[in-house]
Each structure stands twice: as C-alpha cells, then as structure tokens.
Amino acid sequence: MDADPAARLRIESPDREICVRAENISKNFGGIRVLENVSFEIAKGEILGFLGPNGAGKTTTVRILTGFFPPSSGRVWIAEQDLARNPGRAKQRIGYLPESIGLYEDMRVEEFLKFSGAMKGLKSAARKEQVAQKIERCGLGDVRKRLIGRLSKGYRQRLGLAQALLGDPELLVLDEPTNGLDPKQIIEIRTLIRELGRERTVFLSTHILPEVSMVCDRVIIMSRGRLVASGTAEELEAGLKKAREILVTAGEPWRRDEAIGLLRSLPGLEDVRVVKEEPDQVSFSMTVPADKPDPRAEISRLFVEKGIALLEIRSARLSLEEIFMRILSSDDSAAGEAS
C-alpha cells in the first residue's frame, strides 16, 4: 500500500520563499541514533503538519529547529539565518510552544509574559502593548494576575501560546499543542492556530491525524527518526483510505471457492483472499478503494441469492489514526524490529 518512492519525499518547488530549511539533520543521544538524515523545507506562510507516533523523533526535530540543542550533523536555516552561526537572529524569528511546557510556577501570568517579552528583546513600551495584545488574543484576561502554578492545563497551554506569540515571530513552532486538553479546549486551540496560520508560518507537530487535516496545508510524516511521507492532507488521506478492509465470514467451508468466485466477480473489490479457515466456517478479506461505494449490501445480497450462509460481514474501516499507525508499523517491520 506504499505510494511510489518518488512521491514519498517530494522536492519543493524552488520558486517559493522558504522560511525553514532543514538539511540532513541527524541526532545521536549517547550513541543511539534518534534522527537519521532528515531534510525538509517549509514555505513562507505555510502551515506544515509534522506527524509521527510516540518516540518517532518529533520533539527532537522540533528542539533542533528551535535551537534548544544542536543536531549531531546537518544544518538548519530559519528565514535565511543559519541557526548554528547566527543563533540569536534565527531564534528572534521563532515562537515556540514546547510539548509539555515548563513554566515558572511561582510567577504570575502577566509578570511572566513581561519577562518573556524582555527575553525576546522587546523594549518596555512595545512590551506592554504586546503583552496586553497576546493576553487578549489567547483569552488570558481572567487569569492575568494568577499564579502560574494554579492554572489549569488549558490555561497553561494558552499561556505557552501567548509567550510564543510575543514579538510576532514569523515562524510558530508548536509541539503537540492540544495534548491533554479537553475536547472543547482542543477545538478552541485548533481554531486559534488556524487563525494564527493566516499571518505566519506554522510548524505543528502532532500524532493526531484529523488535527492535521483540519489545520494544515501540508504534512510530513516521521517514523523511527526518518521522514517516510509528505503531501497535502487530502493526498495522504486518499492514500491511507485504500487500506480500508472488508471481512466476510461464511458458514460452509466446502463452498469456499464458489464464494471467492462470487466476491471476485463484484466490481471494485481488490485483493480477495482467504484469511482463516476452520471446520465450520471460512473468512475472506478484501480491500476497497476510497472512491468506491461500500460493497457490503451487495455482498450479502449475492450470498443470500446463492444460498451461502453468511455469518458475519464487517467493514474493518479503521479510524484515520489507526490506518496511520498501521502504515508506520509496516514501516517499523520493514526496518527490522522496533526499538
């Protein structure tokens, strides 16, 4: 079910203005290679989703992009600035919301934002204005005098977003911004991100596929420290939905070949095969392309017509996440055993 290799790593058209360029970055932690030659570009104004299962190396990539630690090899440019050579100027252009954001628990919300503004080099008048503006933007008005240690998870996340936005950086790097939030807050944060994405470049790391399709222009997928796919959300989803599977269990194993023949005669069913054969029943599986209608009604009608006992018919249509995980696990098994 893999797309052809050429489509997996697509080369960006060179005429677009580039905001982030990562070139062959690798990272080792004590001899263990966590990132392996990762290269990608983000065009100016693009919202790029960065997908991958736990431990894929998303946070590591994000930390390299934001200059938290350097890559073991490879280079990063942020808006034409080499991150290794001009860290100050490159970082000036980044607003970063870390994965599980650590905050100064005994500072107050507004006080912390003023401090953040100072760290970003905002002078006092501009700082005051920016802080007020981001408090408003991120809905922190009610808690501006509250101790950060007493904030709920949702407010902490908003505060993290507010500090990232201070100074209006042209690149926003968000590492799993909706992690641990309740559904209402998730929707609010996503809406906020989408709005923010109108004005700037966004790099959104997540392991939630729908989040990406809702928010992002384009997606890159990482597994086990390597990039395995890239494309728009629609392209990826179309590719993934091919994995939709139908399972049919019939009651009379001796009529197996007849049943297979019936199934193969139906248009749009691919890869029909027997998956399990027991003394009193037999199971078939087949896949259906995303653009074809659900064939289950047709199958049951056909079986009843021929008098084959139909015990079960099930569409193994997986949720997007599950299909996504499946692709990645097939990548895992292809690469050997998962570490």
Partner 1 sequence: MRKAFALARKDANAYFQSWAGAFAFAFFFLVAGILFSIVVMTYSKISLDVSKGYQETQGLGLTRFIWGSFFANIGAVLIFLAPILSMRAFAEERKQQTLELLFTYPLSDFDIVSGKFLGMVWFFEALFLPTLAYTALLHWLGVEPDWGPVLVGFLGFWLLGLAYLSLGLFVSSLTDNPVVSAIVTFGLLLVFWVLEWVVSIADGPSARLLALLSPLNHYQEFTVGILDLSNVVYFVCFQLYFIFLAMRSIEARNWKG
Residue 100's binding partner out of ligand ATP, Mg ion, partner 1, none, with CB under 5 to 8 Å set by partner kind: partner 1
Residue 56's binding partner out of partner 1, Mg ion, ligand ATP, none, with CB under 5 to 8 Å set by partner kind: ligand ATP
Give buried/exposed letters for 29-49 (b at 16+ CB in 10 A, else e).
Answer: eeeeebbbebebbbbebbbbb
285 with 273: CB under 8 angstroms? yes
Q: How far is the CB of 28 from ligand ATP (least distance, A)?
A: 9
- Residues of this chain that bind Mg ion (CB under 5 A): 58-59, 99
Please, which residue, 207 or 255, has the CB nearer to ligand ATP?
Answer: 207
Please, which residue, 66 or 230, has the CB nearer to partner 1?
Answer: 66
Question: What DSSP element (H or E) covers 49?
Answer: strand 47-51
DSSP letter at 292?
Answer: S
Instruction: Single out the residue of 169, 190, 171 nearest to residue 179, CA to CA.
Output: 190
- Residues of this chain that bind ligand ATP (CB under 6 A): 29, 34, 52, 54-60, 99, 207
Q: How far is the CB of 79 from partner 1 (least distance, A)?
A: 13
Q: How far is the CB of 220 from ligand ATP (least distance, A)?
A: 13
| CA–CA separation, 95 and 203 (whole Å) | 10
CA gyration radius, the chain:
25
- Residues of this chain that bind partner 1 (CB under 8 A): 29, 63, 66-69, 87-89, 91-92, 94, 96, 98, 100-107, 115-116, 118-121, 163
SS3 letters across 150-174:
HCCHHHHHHHHHHHHHCCCCCEEEE
Q: How far is the CB of 69 from ligand ATP (least distance, A)?
A: 8
Q: What count of other Cβ atoms lies within 10 Å of the Cβ of residue 273?
A: 10
Q: How far is the CB of 33 from Mg ion (least distance, A)?
A: 17
SS3 letters across 124-136:
HHHHHHHHHHHHH
Residue 60's binding partner out of ligand ATP, partner 1, Mg ion, none, with CB under 5 to 8 Å set by partner kind: ligand ATP
Residue 223's binding partner out of ligand ATP, partner 1, Mg ion, none, with CB under 5 to 8 Å set by partner kind: none
Please, which residue, 105 or 199, has the CB nearer to partner 1?
Answer: 105
Rounded to the nearest angstrom, the gap between the alpha carbon of residue 148 and the centroid of all alpha carbons in its chain is 29
Please, which residue, 147 or 320, has the CB nearer to partner 1?
Answer: 147
